[in-house]
A and B are shown apart, each in its own frame.
Chain A
């Protein structure tokens, strides 16, 4: 009899413990309750793990499942890194400030093209700088383009903003294709790689090994995360939150919506341009085919799938949209005997629908959004 009693009480204890875990915010809640020292160590651990990812193929059993086959794994990791960067940037515009941007690839293109124009021997400018020297200029130009996009769209409401941003990205693509200066499909080749040499004189950022590029990308991502996090917790972030929730109310309460909307575009463009600069430095060659509309839509889908409005969600979303197609490369499907890569977007589409139906707040929802959804679920008039 006594054993039964203890059995039931321990079972009872297990259930409320689990509920307590969830209601205290789950893993993220636990994380935020630790002391700064512990948080710092954990962050370093994660970063360290990320730096060690190129070697994950060696981990027994699961390693070979994770590593991509059709494409070199460090190259896949580099692809993930610039997609994550783009997702972080778009998250600032869409997730934090609530501005629906369907043309994010435009900023990526501006950053990459500025670098190419300043450094490639093909360019009309004939300046032929090194990669590093072009970075500040490219970022400045990207930020400027963000402002140029933002300014005429200030008055536009959500869905109109979407189509205008889409139009801007397409205009950039068409201008890149059709003007002599930007060399369209012929593109720019021999874009220099980031500088740096080993002790024996061989360049760190060569063509054959993509690992240094990945580490560079990772470093940039970490810096961007720190920067964006600080912004989010500052007055700027709070203004964005107010704008996202209700723009008119924010304006009435004294939030300078114009200024902060422009800020959002500028910072989003900065990060997008950063991605473009890194892409150009790794690839060495680029043309107008890269910057298609589907790219923007993909990044947006990644951000929302991952969970818009929070950094971890953006990282996860960005990583997924790059990793899943690359992982499917090089695998033959049994029915039609084509590379599974051909199915990647069909699979993607299905995955997107599934995630949105079962977790419309995203895989890692921002806590605010999750609370919003709980409130909306309790609304008086049911939709159906």
Chain B
């Protein structure tokens, strides 16, 4: 009996000693000191795997292209690429974000691409003082949190919504519009703004389940058909939109499907079939990739073997913006953040200047509409006013 007790206490003591020694050594990570303006890292934080991977990968590749080009010009690996995969999920984001802030060499972040994970992760970045520039998270409430390190390089839903509504009203001249959304933060937010702007033209409303959670839309389709609407505005992502578009065509509906940048993906044509998808209009607070300056389009294709995706060019610009900042001597997160808050930068997709809340300066906001053509790709249609 006493033997067992003694062993137990002894074991506890030994383990306590080891653990204590370990705890005391917890900051033993030794990094090479960065010299001058090199030896730092820029991070991409967002979805790289999982069902939302496409958009995240597009952005990460634009980001990495910029850094690679910068390093080539410098002749050495001046700035390193750090990638953090959050799967696009707000539940996973905090743990991965804490990993990110533990690396003291990271001066800036491009991302997060999605609004939900931004809500969860940016408080952690903010607490660590690391500036982030998102090329695609468009939820309006993100800049209402009082964050000082968050910057948005695109227009938010308050601009995209009116853009879509104006297009429906003025260009399509539709007076019978059915509005639906997938109840996601992005989709609901967007469709609410569209609804408000269209006013009396909205003759029906409905909501669906989130992207990927529903496959049978017969009730929605039936309501749209019987309402005799000529336009359906759907706030949501490309998969649901594609399925709805296909079901509408099967039911013989002759109207046009309109949506936001969440639907701007070849996946919509994949779900609906190219024939049914033709003519679908999507808005995007981004300009057409062909309009991107310089050799970006060819460089991207050369490096990644695929065409640049949505927001790849904005991510490219965001990365270059930060690289320019670091190169100008802002080699701490705090200095870089100050730089971001004051600079006006002319990139290949747009000119960037941030308001004190982190939003893009209104005079640089542009919203374009794109149309799906018979091959399932989106081609630029026209720029729309956002007021």
A residues whose Cβ falls under 8 Å from a Cβ of B: 34-35, 37-38, 41-42, 44-45, 48-49, 52, 55-59, 63, 70-72, 74-76, 79, 174, 177-178, 184-187, 189-190, 206-210, 282-287, 289-290, 326, 329-330, 338-339, 341-342
A189 neighbours in B (Cβ, 8 Å): 119, 141, 145
**A44, A63, A75 — which one has the most chain B CB atoms within 10 A of its CB?**
A75
Contact A339 B127 (CB under 8 A): no
The distance in angstroms between the C-alpha atoms of A185 and B318, with both chains bound, is 28
Q: Of A58, A75, A210, which contacts B26 at CB under 8 A?
A: A58
- Whether A38 contacts B1 in the complex (CB less than 8 A), given A187-B185, A285-B120, comes out as yes
Is B5 a contact of A184 with CB atoms below 8 Å? no
What's the Cα separation between A177 and B185 when bound, in Å?
10
| Chain B residues closer than 8 Å to A44, beta-carbon distance | 12
Chain B residues with CB under 8 A of A342: 49-50
Interface stretch of the complex, out of B13-21, B165-173, B261-269: B13-21
**Which residues from chain A contact B50 at a C-beta distance below 8 Å?**
342
Q: Does B273 contact A (CB under 8 A)?
A: no
B4 touching A34, Cβ below 8 Å: yes
The contact of A330 among B85, B184, B188, by CB within 8 Å, is B85
Nearest CB in chain B to that of A186: its residue: B185
A326–B87 CA distance with the chains assembled, in angstroms: 12
Question: Which residues on the A side are within 8 Å of B199 (C-beta)?
Answer: none
Q: How many residues of B contact A (CB 8 A)?
A: 51
Q: Are A184 and B85 in contact (CB under 8 A)?
A: no
Say whether B127 contacts A206, CB under 8 Å. Answer: yes
10 A-B pairs besides A187-B90, A209-B98 with CB distance below 8 A are: A41-B5, A58-B19, A58-B23, A72-B95, A174-B209, A185-B188, A207-B123, A289-B90, A329-B96, A330-B85
Which residues in window 81-111 of B have CB below 8 A to A? 85, 87, 89-92, 94-96, 98-99, 101-102
- The reply on B11 being an interface residue by CB < 8 A is yes
User: Are the CB atoms of A38 and B5 closer together than 8 Å?
Assistant: yes
Which of B9, B89, B99 is packed against the most chain A CB atoms within 10 Å? B99
The interface residues of chain A lying within 8 Å CB-to-CB of B183 are 177-178, 184-185
Which residues in B have some Cβ–Cβ distance to A below 8 Å?
A: 1, 4-5, 8-9, 11-12, 15-16, 18-19, 21-23, 25-26, 48-50, 85, 87, 89-92, 94-96, 98-99, 101-102, 116, 119-120, 123-124, 126-128, 139, 141, 145, 183-185, 188-189, 207, 209-210
Which residues of the partner chain B approach A71 to less than 8 Å between Cβ atoms? 92, 95-96, 98-99
Indicate if the CB atoms of B127 and A185 lie closer than 8 Å. Answer: no
Q: A72-B96, A207-B123, A207-B124 are in contact. Are A190 and B145 (CB under 8 A)?
A: yes
CA distance A330 to B83 in the complex (A): 10
Smallest CB–CB gap between A223 and chain B, Å? Answer: 22
A276 to chain B, nearest CB (A): 13
Q: Which of A38, A57, A187 contacts B8 (CB 8 A)?
A: A38
- Whether A187 and B119, one on each chain, are in contact in the complex, defined by CB atoms closer than 8 angstroms, is yes
Q: Name the residue of chain B whose CB is nearest to the CB of A75.
A: B95
- Bound complex: CA of A275 vs CA of B199, how far in Å? 44
* CB–CB B16/A48 < 8 A: yes
Asked if residues A59 and B184 are in contact (CB atoms below 8 Å), the reply is no
12 pairs from A and B in contact (CB 8 Å cutoff): A58-B22, A71-B99, A178-B183, A184-B188, A186-B189, A189-B141, A207-B94, A208-B127, A326-B95, A329-B96, A338-B49, A342-B50
Which of B9, B91, B101, B189 sits near A289, CB closer than 8 Å? B91
In the bound complex, what is the Cα–Cα distance between A57 and B4 (angstroms)?
29
Question: Contact: A285 with B90, CB < 8 Å?
Answer: yes
CA distance A45 to B10 in the complex (A): 10
Tell me whether A341 and B49 are in contact (CB under 8 A): yes
Closest 8 CB pairs of A and B: A58-B22, A75-B95, A72-B98, A71-B95, A52-B19, A186-B185, A185-B184, A285-B119
**How far in angstroms is the closest Cβ of chain B from A138?**
19
Contact of B98 among A52, A63, A210, A286 (CB under 8 A): A210
Cβ contact within 8 Å between A339 and B48: yes
Contact, CB under 8 Å: A41 / B25:
no
User: What's the least CB distance linking B102 to chain A, in Å?
Assistant: 7
Q: Is the CB of B207 within 8 A of A178?
A: yes
| A339 and B49 contact, CB distance less than 8 A | yes
Q: In angstroms, how far is the closest chain A Cβ from the Cβ of B337?
A: 17
Distance to closest chain B CB from A20 (angstroms)? 18
Assess whether A45 is in contact with B12, with CB atoms less than 8 Å apart.
yes
Q: Compute how far the CA of A75 lies from the CA of B21 in the bound complex, rounded to whole angstroms.
A: 22
In the complex, chain B residues whose CB is within 8 Å of the CB of A79: 95
With a cutoff of 8 Å between Cβ atoms, the chain A residues found around residue B123 in the complex are: 207, 284-285
CB of A40 to closest CB in B, whole Å: 10
B101 touches A41 (CB 8 A): no
A208 with B98: CB separation less than 8 A: yes
Other-chain residue from B12, B18, B87 in contact with A59 (beta carbon distance below 8 A): B18
CB of B190 to closest CB in A, whole Å: 12
Verify A177–B145 contact, CB threshold 8 A.
no
Measured in the bound complex, the distance between the Cα atoms of B149 and A90 in whole Å is 42
Chain B positions within 8 Å of A285 at CB level? 90, 119-120, 123
Are A287 and B96 also in contact (CB < 8 A) when A187-B116, A339-B85 are?
Answer: no
B116 contact from A174, A185, A329, Cβ within 8 A: A185
